[in-house]
Structure 1
């Protein structure tokens, strides 16, 4: 019988800290574009630049960060990243209070936050399997993604309420506090990490190359990484334009935007709750394909959003998109954690993330440039069509015909990579 990870005090601390961090990010995901739009009177292109800046560090430092993190204990790296994030984001409301806030300040804060996130996520990928048993990973990831989704439910509404009551900048103060709380929770964790033995020789770029080669030679890992890159480009463009679209094109107030995004984020809660029953019924490979590939066509409804009934269709479609993404992410994260050798996990994860997330800045900037050229609604339509088409990479790839994804324990049986 598998013991639930929720029974562990240390996991509950990790869970609480992660949830707080995700709540802060959910608040800021709405608060940041609202600050740019309502405080600094920025246009669509500037708003998408903020999204690009947050993801650019994956391209700049992602690969060496993974190799560095593989050499270190993961928890101190995560704590340092949380503290750095709190300071970077906390500087924005301070600058606003002193009437010195500029678009440049927002961009720099986004870059610093992005760099801290690279190190946090690189460490996080290897930390969970270092403190939990393999059989607990799906349950743990379901709880973590479920609380992340619940944070996304509460976050946009909270951002809208704060924006209406005391101004959009206050949402970023909430995010800074959430990062500080996450660091405090990690400080209280007692369970030591299971750390793999260090290599006899250390060479940073050789270790980086090992992670890249692993991704290139493992057919399932490679396909998931490439699908992430192709799908994230239009998905990020779609997400970067969404607040601009709802405020400028549909004419909704910040509070209404927050409420709508709160409702759609319920899809993430549903996805995390449904993933384990789906895996038991369909197998994790089929669940991954159905959820990830099925999310794209639902997004095609979003550009047709308008007032009245069309807003209801927007909520339903966006909810299904988030449901599919969340359930698919739980399965893929659990697979990587149980399949990749522990001593290489951070390097492999950052190699995947550089491929996965490297297209995000391009997607955000492309969507903004296209919106300036042909209009926000039209740009949104292009992004959703491209996102829907990306699911074919999973339907026609090496996952086709598989019921279940492999695990590390099956390597000895000669399972092909």
Structure 2
């Protein structure tokens, strides 16, 4: 349940580091906002290309390089380690930099790194450590891109449209996650996995092009009066820790990410090796899950209005954790068709709930955070909720190799259920309408 990775009050409390959004009037639809649609297109193209690479990495490692459980864990950890290494300073740096320019630079870095994989393959020199290195470089660029991305949305659209913008961006991302794995699975029947990295490189390039076409009025933060990097990092961490709702959401999301990563690290090995479902089976599971994510992104605001914006957060977390039970249950099935069905249902239910959860909690964070702290707030949260994932990936690989895949997955399920407790036993179930100011929230 990763945060997505975008405060309705940003325009009202803008500081010298920001300016009013250059988008359409608050009453107009975002479809008519040229800047938002350019940004939206950039993200759609980037996500589509990215999904090809997400499928190609584990397939290439398992089928062509013969990766072990622990090597898959190291591969996943390499891509996520950047959130631990540069996660906190990235937020302070992003608050000082122009966010759109930072995203363009990150896209170009990711394009160059992903292009190296097919070149190494064509030369016959591709080894598993090359994938570790590429994954690490992409991870560092992704940290800066994602922190900028979450902090840029409130600067791009007017305050009243932030929630709508988040829902549209998440919906498009889920559409890409439907088409990407399905297309990737089909392509893998006629091409080798390294060629899919070309698709991801192209997606990052096109994303940079459309970001260059996007216009905003953001200005760099003034150098005068700037605090030290350590002081600015501490200010962002302090806001997260002291906020009564955000702190509980961080505990829940971090716990879910840690436990879920144990399961998802071992999932390619379960699907490709233990169950023998092949790359096509992996693509089907990912596509069905993405369809659930699309439903969650679209239904999230509707469910929030009927159930309650606060109540939907613990409900989404709990349902997502319960759906994970089906993964180890699928591993117990002798019929491969039944196993595939259970895995697809699990992925569908998990992503429906996770997207509902993410849309509401990210929107709430943007509402209550002062604009000058957006980058540091997002980076502080990413440091925790993504920072636990490389550790979990290594733990998943170790546990899978020494205990077995099924026992490791059951531990992941138990951890996911325990992670729901901070939001389940919190003020959130009693909150119908989430706060939309930078003041301390109340029921």
Q: TM-score range by the shorter chain?
A: over 0.9
Residue 260 (1) aligns with residue 280 (2): no
**Partners of 1:259 and 1:88 in 2: CA distance:** 27
The answer to whether the 8 A contact 1:300-1:388 is kept is no
Residue 355 (1) aligns with residue 355 (2): no
1:261 Cα offset (Å): 2.0
The answer to whether the 8 A contact 1:249-1:377 is kept is no
**Partners of 1:161 and 1:45 in 2: CA distance:** 28
The answer to whether the 8 A contact 1:92-1:169 is kept is yes
Q: Which residue of 2 aligns with 1:246?
A: 271
CA-to-aligned-CA distance 1:56-108 (integer Å, 9 cap, x gap): 01111111111011011110000000000100111111111111111111101
Aligned residue pair count: 414
Q: Which residue of 2 aligns with 1:319?
A: 348
1:196 Cα offset (Å): 6.6
Q: Which residue of 1 aligns with 2:41?
A: 16
Name the SS of the counterpart of 2:284 in structure 1: helix
Q: Which residue of 1 aligns with 2:329?
A: 304
**Partners of 1:106 and 1:309 in 2: CA distance:** 33
1:239 Cα offset (Å): 1.4
**Partners of 2:219 and 2:431 in 1: CA distance:** 32
**Partners of 2:141 and 2:110 in 1: CA distance:** 6
Name the SS of the counterpart of 1:308 in structure 2: helix
Q: Which residue of 2 aligns with 1:402?
A: 431
**Partners of 1:155 and 1:120 in 2: CA distance:** 21
User: Using a 3 Å threshold, how does the CA distance of structure 1 residues 4 and 283 change in structure 2: closer, same or farther?
Assistant: farther
CA-to-aligned-CA distance 1:234-273 (integer Å, 9 cap, x gap): 1111112111111111111212221232122210011011
Residue 206 (1) aligns with residue 235 (2): no
Q: Which residue of 1 aligns with 2:12?
A: none
Q: Which residue of 2 aligns with 1:339?
A: 368
Q: Which residue of 1 aligns with 2:17?
A: none
Aligned-pair Cα RMSD in Å? 1.7
**Partners of 2:406 and 2:55 in 1: CA distance:** 19
Name the SS of the counterpart of 2:256 in structure 1: helix
Q: Which residue of 2 aligns with 1:330?
A: 359
TM-score by length of 1: 0.95
CA-to-aligned-CA distance 1:289-316 (integer Å, 9 cap, x gap): 2112221011101111132334323222
Residue 32 (1) aligns with residue 57 (2): yes
For 1:19-168, what aligned pairs fall within 5 Å after superposition?
19-168=44-193
Name the SS of the counterpart of 1:403 in structure 2: coil
1:162 Cα offset (Å): 2.1
Q: Which residue of 1 aligns with 2:6?
A: none
Gaps of 5+ in 2: 1-25
The answer to whether the 8 A contact 2:284-2:344 is kept is no
1:140 Cα offset (Å): 0.7
User: Out of 369, 372, 377, which is 2:406 matched to?
Assistant: 377
More helix by share: 1
